[in-house]
């Protein structure tokens, strides 16, 4: 029997627009500039950059757009030997490091209204999943990704708390969708550009692609 060839990897990525207290969201800039950046830099063999999407920083009101974006990755998948990976970038204005989020919880508790005015308190992200204590974990090896990124010189940590705001809301839906479709999903929190500059963050995301692909 012949062995299968290496699995092709398609990575889709999203960032967010501005929201309360964050006039310039670095993830919007990174995602908007990413295609041109990786065209210059190149990607590892077998890795393709799929969609680059910037979402409204909102929960329930932006859910149809999020689900449509996730669904679009299915129509772009051509072979059974292709691994689809979703990377979600969100900003943590109080952090000085990159953070790989290991899980999301089924709870929406927004300390301030999202950009569409929604402010849920202790309600399930997905009602059918039961109570707010339910969590979902990424199937990617955050430990292996962390090790890869640290070897490249980036200041990265693993986090088990993505908050209860829009980032966690989107991540929970993405992890649920990924489990249903056989995809993989990872949320990464990044600092503000005033803490880690734009060029370093662009390098980080390109290296993150390498790290993620190396674990598949």
Q: What pLDDT does 21 receive?
A: 86
Residue 181 DSSP label: H
Task: Say which CATH topology domain 6-102+136-212 has.
Answer: Aminopeptidase (3.40.630)
Q: What pLDDT does 75 receive?
A: 64
* Mean pLDDT for back-to-back runs of 10 residues, the chain (216 residues): 66 94 94 97 93 94 90 69 93 97 98 95 96 97 98 98 97 97 97 98 97 92
Contact 190, 200 (CB under 8 A): no
Catalytic residue, chosen from 52, 112, 167, 216, is: 167
Closest CA to 94 of 191, 208, 201: 191
**Token reading at 198:** 């734009």
Domain ranges of the chain: 6-102+136-212
Contact 152, 207 (CB under 8 A): yes
Asked if 167 is an active-site residue, the reply is: yes
Q: What pLDDT does 6 receive?
A: 61
Residue 106 DSSP label: S
Q: What pLDDT does 2 receive?
A: 42
């Amino acid at each position: 029997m012949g062995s299968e060839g290496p699995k092709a990897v398609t990575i889709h990525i999203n960032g967010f627009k501005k929201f309360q207290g964050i006039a310039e969201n670095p993830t919007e800039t990174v995602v908007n500039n990413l295609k041109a950046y990786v065209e210059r830099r190149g990607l590892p063999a077998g890795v393709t950059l799929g969609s680059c999407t910037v979402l409204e920083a909102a929960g329930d009101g932006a859910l149809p757009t999020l689900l449509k974006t996730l669904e679009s990755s299915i129509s772009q998948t051509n072979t059974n030997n292709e691994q689809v990976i979703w990377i979600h970038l969100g900003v943590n204005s109080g952090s000085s490091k990159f953070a790989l989020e290991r899980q999301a919880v089924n709870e929406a508790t927004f300390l301030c209204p999202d950009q569409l005015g929604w402010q849920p308190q202790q309600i399930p992200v997905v009602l059918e999943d039961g109570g707010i204590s339910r969590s979902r974990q990424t199937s990617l090896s955050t430990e292996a990704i962390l090790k890869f990124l640290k070897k490249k010189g980036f200041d990265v940590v693993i986090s088990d708390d993505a908050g209860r705001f829009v980032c966690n809301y989107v991540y929970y839906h993405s992890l649920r969708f990924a489990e249903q479709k056989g995809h993989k999903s990872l949320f990464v929190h990044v600092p503000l550009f005033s803490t880690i500059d734009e060029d370093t963050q662009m390098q980080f995301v390109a290296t993150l692609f390498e790290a993620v692909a190396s674990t598949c």
